[in-house]
Chains A and B, each alone.
Chain A
Amino acid sequence: MRHSVFTIEVCARLDTSPQLLDRLRPIVQSAPEHVTREEAWRRHSAAADVLLQHIELIERGCWEYFDDEARAKWMFDDWTRPVIERQIPRQEPSGAPGYRDAGARYLTFTMVYLLARDSPSDLELRRSCQIPDQQLWRKSTFRRLLQAVRTLSFGSVKADSMYLIPRDHDWGFTQQDLTADTYDYLRPLVAD
């Protein structure tokens, strides 16, 4: 079987909208070890719904789609590395912004899929990902891709992952964290 990979990661303000973290966390945390395809779809669809409802809070993001075999598997491994290898970005809490500390805090939420290439879901995603260069980093593009997530059939998903950074409010990214080269891939999103 040949594969494709699709990933979407968003970065949103945490300090001004703590409810986003509170709504995403249980979707990730409550998932059991064994799930049906229907349950998997519900979970991913729910996460996409939450992000769509808070799209205005999303400041940065990244998405990828590849359908050459070697890169698909490689990229899937790479994107799921934080979960597999417990790569936790912060080693200590960043704390909540203080009285005179206006420093913003951020969260990231990531969804990764290894799909059966040329399956109906893959073809649909491929179509959704055909984005002109000038629109790659628009919120409307992310809206479109999140909507595509809601149409995925998990009969075509070989493997998937979702993860939320942080789990707890006082472990959010600071602005300084996000200026590191590591996060260059998170592009500022342009409102439509």
Chain B
Amino acid sequence: MSERPLRQDFRVDEPGLVGARWWQDSVIDPVGRRHTILTLLAVGVGLGVAGLAIDACEPTKTSRLGALDLQRKYGWAFGAATENLVFNGQSTQPFDRSRLAWMVADMTPRVAAHRPFYVQTLFESPTALPTAVSEGDPTTIPSLKDALQPIFTHDIFKWVQANVDTLAGVTGAALVVDLDGQDAVAFAAAASSRFDPVFLFDNWPHPHGVVPAHLTLAAAAYYQPMFANAATASQADPRPPAPMFVLDRQRLATYTDSASQFDNRWVARMPGVQALRAMGITRLLYVGPAANARELDDLNDDFVTDHTAGISVVLVDVTSIDALQLKTHLNVEYAPVARRTLFSSGIAGGGRPTPAEFGSVPVVLSLVGGTLLGVAWSRSGTWNRGWGG
């Protein structure tokens, strides 16, 4: 460990504001101090306990709690312990399951300046262990590591191999890869020799998940050795590669039925203008799945701000652009327009809104001690009789 582990990554010193931010890579992770009874998820302003208001006339109460937090505590398949994931396009190649334990490290950005933006949430899921058991799950939830099957996406991989040098030749360009999860990972793998992948996947798979994150994870398992090799190979290259921000285009998938779906949606957390500039980025190449596939709603505020600040945006279509035409296409700038949606403010420079109850699931709580009894959409568990009606 370094003797000075905290490093400053941002600083401002002007008449109106002076401040800085520090990060450190090595922090002690205190695993195993968790409680088995649901404790308050938040304290203070905007307290998360508002939904837990107790009505003493009923033995149980429904509420909504953060999906990811519940999965971390009770297991990735919380409320669906006996159900399986379905993988399409499974690989028949040899697969070293033990390597999943290194996934968080293998997928870490190679460039130190990119690491603060890395979201490792998805890659933590295969080896994470629950710390409590929900009464609504009849059996212990097995490790996701054992349920995972690697998959690969050949077409996108080939397209990238043919075009990555052209993309890397654009001065000051960062990629924003916004494809379906498994395609985004395949893209990142094929481009990892020229770009530094910065994964932003911020959810876990679930058998009833709105977002099929298990496919993203399965692709990551397939390509994991390639990412690890790219990191090793790049150590010999003195020039830091440009960042490649990798997103799952299904992250805002439609959530319609809380009785049958698990809301594992998430929103992109892209670096701001100053951070992009600090990385030397003057252009964003937004990689989408079709011609004129504009940015998803949760990126609109960011892109409008970036564009206004002089960072140009170019749309790159991976399905219809002929490789020979790509160079010409890369000179066509896209001007994002502020639009009002559930995930964008519609105001230039506005803050991104997030819908109420986004990324949460309905749960049933015992009024005695606040013990969590299960997911409200699950029909198993004796608690269901008390509140359903």
List chain A positions with a Cβ less than 8 A from chain B.
Answer: 1-2, 25, 28-29, 31-37, 39-40, 62-71, 73-74, 77, 80-91, 93, 110, 116-120, 122-123, 126, 129-131, 136, 154-168, 170-171, 185
**The residue from A64, A73, A159, A185 contacting B24, defined by CB atoms under 8 A apart:** A159
Query: Interface with A: B14-22, B175-183, B288-296, which one?
Result: B14-22
* B101 interface residue (CB < 8 Å to A): no
Find chain A residues with CB under 8 A from B124 CB. Answer: 1
A168 and B13 alpha carbons, distance in the complex (Å): 10
Q: Assess the A34–B42 pair: CB atoms within 8 A.
A: no
Q: Assess the A84–B43 pair: CB atoms within 8 A.
A: no
In the complex with contacts A1-B29, A64-B45, A69-B69 CB distance below 8 A: yes
Measured between C-beta atoms, what is the minimum distance from B347 to chain A in Å?
14
Q: Assess the A88–B16 pair: CB atoms within 8 A.
A: yes
A34 and B27 alpha carbons, distance in the complex (Å): 16
Measured between C-beta atoms, what is the minimum distance from A32 to chain B in Å?
8
Other A-B pairs beyond A68-B42, A159-B24, 13, CB < 8 Å: A33-B8, A36-B5, A37-B6, A68-B66, A80-B10, A83-B10, A83-B11, A84-B275, A85-B274, A118-B31, A165-B17, A167-B16, A167-B18
Q: Assess the B17–A34 pair: CB atoms within 8 A.
A: no
Find chain A residues with CB under 8 A from B46 CB. Answer: 64, 66
A119 and B274 alpha carbons, distance in the complex (Å): 32
Query: Interface with A: B186-194, B265-273, B326-334, B377-385, which one?
Result: B265-273
* B121 interface residue (CB < 8 Å to A): yes
Name 23 interchain pairs, CB-CB below 8 A, sorted by A.
A28-B19, A28-B20, A33-B7, A33-B8, A35-B8, A36-B5, A37-B5, A39-B4, A64-B45, A68-B42, A69-B121, A83-B11, A83-B17, A84-B10, A85-B274, A110-B19, A126-B43, A131-B43, A155-B28, A163-B18, A166-B16, A166-B18, A167-B13
Q: Give the secondary structure class of A's interface.
A: mixed
* B202 interface residue (CB < 8 Å to A): yes
A192 and B31 alpha carbons, distance in the complex (Å): 39
A77 and B202 alpha carbons, distance in the complex (Å): 14
A64 and B10 alpha carbons, distance in the complex (Å): 22
A84 and B271 alpha carbons, distance in the complex (Å): 9
A116 and B5 alpha carbons, distance in the complex (Å): 15
Considering only CB atoms, which chain A residue lies closest to B18 in the complex? A167
Q: Assess the A40–B6 pair: CB atoms within 8 A.
A: yes
**The residue from A70, A84, A118, A167 contacting B272, defined by CB atoms under 8 A apart:** A84
In the complex with contacts A88-B16, A116-B30, A40-B22 CB distance below 8 A: yes
In the complex with contacts A65-B42, A84-B274, A156-B27, A70-B22 CB distance below 8 A: no
* B368 interface residue (CB < 8 Å to A): no
Q: Assess the B27–A35 pair: CB atoms within 8 A.
A: no
Measured between C-beta atoms, what is the minimum distance from A10 to chain B in Å?
14
A168 and B8 alpha carbons, distance in the complex (Å): 22
Instruction: Report which residue of A32, A119, A167 has the largest number of chain B beta carbons within 10 angstroms of its beta carbon.
Output: A167
Q: Assess the A86–B14 pair: CB atoms within 8 A.
A: yes
In the complex with contacts A34-B6, A73-B269, A88-B17, A155-B27 CB distance below 8 A: yes
Q: Assess the A83–B19 pair: CB atoms within 8 A.
A: yes
List chain B positions with a Cβ less than 8 A from chain A.
Answer: 2-8, 10-24, 27-31, 33-34, 40-46, 48, 66, 68-69, 72, 116, 119, 121, 124, 202, 266, 269, 271-275, 359
Q: Assess the A154–B6 pair: CB atoms within 8 A.
A: yes
Considering only CB atoms, which chain B residue lies closest to A1 in the complex? B29
Measured between C-beta atoms, what is the minimum distance from B38 to chain A in Å?
12
Instruction: Report which residue of A33, A40, A88 has the largest number of chain B beta carbons within 10 angstroms of its beta carbon.
Output: A33
Find chain A residues with CB under 8 A from B21 CB. Answer: 80, 83-84, 159-161
A84 and B4 alpha carbons, distance in the complex (Å): 22
Find chain B residues with CB under 8 A from A73 CB. Answer: 119, 269
Find chain B residues with CB under 8 A from A40 CB. Answer: 6, 22
A61 and B2 alpha carbons, distance in the complex (Å): 36
A74 and B42 alpha carbons, distance in the complex (Å): 14
Considering only CB atoms, which chain A residue lies closest to B267 in the complex? A74
Q: Assess the A81–B20 pair: CB atoms within 8 A.
A: no
Measured between C-beta atoms, what is the minimum distance from A132 to chain B in Å?
11
Find chain A residues with CB under 8 A from B19 CB. Answer: 28, 82-83, 110, 161-164
Find chain B residues with CB under 8 A from A131 CB. Answer: 43-44
Measured between C-beta atoms, what is the minimum distance from B115 to chain A in Å?
11
Considering only CB atoms, which chain A residue lies closest to B67 in the complex? A70
Measured between C-beta atoms, what is the minimum distance from A59 to chain B in Å?
17
**The residue from A1, A84, A86, A162 contacting B27, defined by CB atoms under 8 A apart:** A1
**The residue from A25, A87, A163 contacting B20, defined by CB atoms under 8 A apart:** A163
In the complex with contacts A69-B69, A159-B23, A28-B16 CB distance below 8 A: no
Instruction: Report which residue of A35, A120, A131, A185 has the largest number of chain B beta carbons within 10 angstroms of its beta carbon.
Output: A35
Considering only CB atoms, which chain B residue lies closest to A112 in the complex? B21
In the complex with contacts A28-B19, A165-B17, A70-B68 CB distance below 8 A: yes
A13 and B119 alpha carbons, distance in the complex (Å): 39
Find chain A residues with CB under 8 A from B6 CB. Answer: 34-37, 39-40, 154, 160
Q: Assess the A66–B44 pair: CB atoms within 8 A.
A: yes
Nearest first, the 7 closest Cβ-Cβ pairs linking A and B are: A163-B19, A167-B18, A34-B4, A161-B21, A88-B16, A168-B15, A68-B69
Find chain B residues with CB under 8 A from A85 CB. Answer: 272-275
